[in-house]
Amino acid sequence: MIRVLFVCHGNICRSPMAEFIMKDLVLKAGLSSQFEIASAATSTEEIGNPVYPPARRKLAEHGIGCSGKTARQLRWEDYRRWDLLIGMDRANLRRMQQICGGDPDGKIHLLMDYTGRPGEVADPWYSGDFDTAWTDILEGCEGLLRTLTAD
């Protein structure tokens, strides 16, 4: 079982989009039984809130649902439970390392590091650009899945 936790600031836009895109990719690849996938926030601002409506709509445009998902904060014990903790930007990585007490096992990575154009997934909460977020997150998840399933 490969356990992947996606993390962003509030857990209402980018990380839940990554969670449900990745779940869709592994389902279509027939690999759902080999993965556990979830998402969390580095902040407490949105705890308990559902996925942000524009993010829900963007997922729905591609036939992906996210009902029942509510924001939760990353916890120290998540570092032990998950194989990979994938952040959306460098600020997320810094906060993830603070919460987890560092990264002694090398589990914390940026999503875009799994693409041919490493960098950050811009926060659509501020930009309103959910199309670019979708493209970046999809490309990152596809690259991550290729990496995790490579022989």
Catalytic residue, candidates 24, 78, 123, 136:
123
Catalytic residue, candidates 8, 13, 66, 141:
8
100 belongs to the catalytic site: no
90 belongs to the catalytic site: no
123 belongs to the catalytic site: yes
Counting other chains too, the contacts that 77-82 makes at CB distance below 8 Å and 24 or more residues apart are: 78/5, 78/40, 79/103, 79/105, 79/107, 81/3, 81/5, 82/3, 82/4, 82/5, 82/107
Catalytic residue, candidates 14, 24, 100, 141:
14
DSSP structure class, residue 19? H
Positions annotated as catalytic residues are 8, 14, 123
